[in-house]
Amino acid sequence: MIEKFVNGNRDFVEGNFLDNQAYYHKISRQQKPSLLWIGCADSRVCPTTITNSQLGEIFVHRNIANIVSTGDTSISAVLEYAIGHLNILDVVVCGHYNCGGIQALDTGGNTPIIEKWLQPATEILDTVRYDVELSSKDRLKQLVEANVRLQVSRMTDFPIIKDINEKLRLHGWVYDLETGKLASVY
């Protein structure tokens, strides 16, 4: 199984990397991404792939259910580095439909660590009411969208965001796995 990835890297080096050596040499010296992407760790949602971007264009932070929490040192460090050192002014929080993290939040029964991780998103459960007319798929879609909006709003709790708020552009997107399309929800 692991050989697939080792062989894939060899194919990448012999193909794309050799064909674009000047570009890879340039980005090996310095990164200048124009976008910070905070997204879900789901293996089906690769930011560079779904935005048709190249390596070096997007600074990426991923975690389960694209949670933004001031108590998370990792996201705090990413924000400080991306905004304070890389001078990125566009920040996207991107969720996706059929998110297992959001579904786990809604249905419960999680391990203690996953439950603790998802805790910062629990208030979205109050924003989307149980409705007899609403299918579980549509409810999950609404929860995903509500979570993105909540996480974007939480960005303003970070000192680095407060310091340059007038210049910073915050975006909330949702990726649809079935259509391949991104939609703005914030």
Is 40 known to be catalytic? yes
Q: Answer yes or no: 42 catalytic.
A: yes
In order along its 186 residues, the chain shows pLDDT tens digits of 999 999 999 999 999 999 999 999 999 999 999 999 999 999 999 999 999 999 999 999 999 999 999 999 999 999 999 999 999 999 999 999 999 999 999 998 789 999 999 999 999 998 887 766 788 899 999 999 999 999 999 999 999 998 886 789 999 999 999 999 999 999
One domain for residues 21 and 105 = no
Confidence at residue 101, expressed as pLDDT on a 0 to 100 scale: 97
Q: Which of 10, 11, 19, 44 is catalytic?
A: 44
Q: Are 99 and 70 in the same domain? A: yes
**Given 99, 106, 154, 171, which residue is catalytic?**
99
Report how far residue 50's alpha carbon sits from residue 73's, in angstroms, rounded to the nearest whole number. 27
- Position 148 scores a pLDDT of 99
Whether residues 6 and 39 share a domain: the answer is no
CATH number for the domain that contains residue 59:
3.40.1050.10
Domain of residue 5 covers 1-30
Note if 25 is an active site residue: no
Domain count within the chain: 2
Is residue 17 domain-shared with residue 98, that is, in the same domain? no
User: Considering the entire predicted model, what is its pTM?
Assistant: 0.94
Catalytic residue among 61, 96, 154, 171: 96
